[in-house]
A and B are shown apart, each in its own frame.
Chain A
């Protein structure tokens, strides 16, 4: 009896020790894994930074000018009279307000719902709508 109690205690102590060792081994493995992943992250971030740098380099005005010159392409700014403003930009549309935006959208090639058409019929911009046939 005494012997089996003693043996049980030893077995329990050994089991706990083994569990502790296993835990430590896993911790060390985790450390190595973290290390690897951090190195990979650093490498990717570096590559991203380099790619950004290369893009900036490629977009540098002086480099673009030299590239055009090398191809003997002459680019000139348009004169004031040559600039014709067309469709408003999306930013301007947003600033003009939702109603105006809606009107402009319906002026494009889109099917208008009956309700939209009904309410807009009584709206200010009714005459300006393009009818889709």
Chain B
């Protein structure tokens, strides 16, 4: 009896280890578009985080009425905005803020979605029912409007509150996805075997179920990250996203709501728009490549 349990464990460890990051890395290396995207993404992020380290955010945010709406020049690489602020500096700081904040939103929604999804899928029955009814409700809300209303009525509003509000409304899709995967996974033999052997539920969930939904989580995390960058900048564009003290890419684009800026002062909004497009597309290409890879593996067996 003891021996059997031991060998069971050994097989399991051997099964789990290769299906992790290593396979994903191999899949990316095969896909030229995804590999190129990954390199571009890494280059942008390295540059942005590196450069923002040497930049003085206060200096960039300082209003200078002598240099309003200057065109790009050697002094101001991307010109200045209505307050005479350097657009290039704002672009760097904005990219950093947008990416960091979207990363945190994705991380928190992943944690909530993962825990609730695994619980609902693994236990099924009443647990599943309660969690699913909550998800069904939150998912059917007009989220953009609710986020805007909540942003307006909270008494204190800063970056942390913004991340919290976004997380509150965005965890549901992930939870539903992971729940459906966990639901089918728990019917498989390896889970039944562990249950028969008397392995505690938390151990099965953490060490058996979790590794088996990991590819789904990673793919979903990456695709969501791209989506959240778009959502954050859309909200900031509308004026209900990041507070003014924390400029994001959406802040620069929001100047284009003024028709004069949109028509005649391209240097203010075009670079930030391109930055969002490049970020979102490259993250998406990496994610789509992983998604295809994960699908193909499932089909093959």
Partners in one complex: no
